[in-house]
Amino acid sequence: MPSTPARRRLRARALDILPLPLALLGAIGIALVTHNPIAMVVGAVVLYQPQVAPTLRDHSTLWLMTRQATRIALLGLLLAVLPMVTTASGGPLMPLIPVTRVIWVVSGALLVYGALFATLRALLHRGHFATRIVVVGPPTAVAGVATRLRQHHHNLFHVLGVFDENQAAEVEQLLQLGQREWLDAIVVARHSLEDNCPDSLRHQLRHLSAPIAMVAPSDKEGDWLVVDDLDLAMFTQLAAAFGEDKYGFVVTPNADHLVRLHEDAAFRQSYASADFVLLDSRFLAHWLRWTRRQYLRVCPGSDLTTVLFKEVISPMDRLVIIGGTSAQAQQLRKRHGLGNLHQLVPPMGFIRDPAAVEACLDFIEQHSPFRFCLLAVGAPQQERLAELLKQRGQARGLALCVGASLNFLTGEEQRAPPWMRRCGMEWLYRLLQDPRRLAARYLWRGPRVFGVMARSAIVTRKRLFTVPAAGLDVRPHRIGNVVPATQRRTG
């Protein structure tokens, strides 16, 4: 049975109200063992542990136990010394307590606190005491606030989703989420506290009946990445249903991209404009799971490209490929029976030539609307092209930044064995296959990702979406090269 709002609030505040009852219970236990009310008062003062939540969050279990052992040792010393203190009447301040009983009290208190800290830490890491919130605002401000929450309020907030206030579809998803889930608070992210929340957005958020807080990020720009909480199967359904009456593009961050995001403002801007951000690296997913207990779904770009050709793309779908080789395009046409595939191979370093960039953009727009546009020119060129297409607003269809996926798909490069991919070691296999080309990326740039990860936040953006009831095999019937408007897929 789902928790009631009152129960959720009590659970979120449990760590704040827990110290006092714990100290009182400990003091009552000491009084029962020692049969002395003065010992109970002393025990309550010594055992009182304020601010349990920040202490559990910021320190290791060993540090906590060392600190608490010191406090309990002080309690034992007081219980042994106080009987020696005499009052004005000449009698002892409290009756003598046998040493064995003092040892039992100290040992029992230490064991109880050790078990308690271990239990609370496990519950805290699993989010049982977390306040359920959503974050809404401009993409850069939203990501900065998420970074701030991770660094200063780790495990105390459960972010159900992050939403771009400039996208009407995402605001609608937030409203639907608020109707299905209980929200403790809505965090409206602003670039500074002087920025006002738009009246239209505030009016919509009030329908969710949750407190609204305005927060401004204070961390360094670029120390964040917002990823969609989608795996391969989930996004395959989304891509199949995307349609050709709007434009969107997909980026797939890996370890090298994280380093670029930290160093390159233009690359961050391209990522901020992306409609879908899918985690490509199982290595990063394993690392986040081990170091932060953050569980992220993975959707590798190479696997996605393969699945799209096998399960989604039909022979008459219009495809546009930027990059690769003519031989690759011919092989794809023959293998999948593609009769409407168009390819442009730009020159090396074309991104620095405005005329070559304009030629790529014109070629894509001339063949729009398309089912998919595969940008296979490597980062950051492909992300920049996708961003420019969005700015111009003429292309229609889904663009995917696929990098070297075509090489794997056509067999020019061999992928790592499945067990290496599952272990996040595909980078090592690729390095051994082509050390001259990839040594700089994996041996020089690659290790820098650990420093970037230490001061970066990766937050998930949960999406609500529906797919055609008949599944992926149902494709719209084309009349020539145009899909009837009534049969176009919409997201």
Q: Which domains does the chain have, with CATH numbers?
A: 5-125 (no CATH), 130-219 (3.40.50.2300), 221-487 (no CATH)
Which range (42-46, 131-135, 370-374) has the least confidence?
42-46
Q: Give pLDDT tens digits for 235-293.
A: 999 999 998 989 999 999 998 888 888 888 888 888 888 989 999 989 888 888 888 77
The average pLDDT across 194-201 equals 77
Q: Is the dihedral of CA 310, 314, 315, 319 positive or negative?
A: negative
Question: Among 182-191, 228-237, 416-425, which range has the highest average pLDDT?
Answer: 228-237
Which residue type, as a one-letter code, is found at position 219? D
Structure tokens at 401: 């930044």
Structure token digits, residue 160: 């159900």
Residue 382 has pLDDT above 80, yes or no: yes
- Report the pLDDT value the prediction gives residue 467, as an integer from 0 to 100: 39
Please tell me what DSSP assigns to residue 12.
H
Locate tokens 């359904």: which residue?
A: 237
Helix and strand totals (H; E) in the chain: 23, 12
Confidence of residue 479 (pLDDT cuts 50, 70, 90): very low
Q: Which two tokens stand for residue 7?
A: 């129960």
3-class SS of residue 53: helix
Beta bridge pairs of residue 482: 479
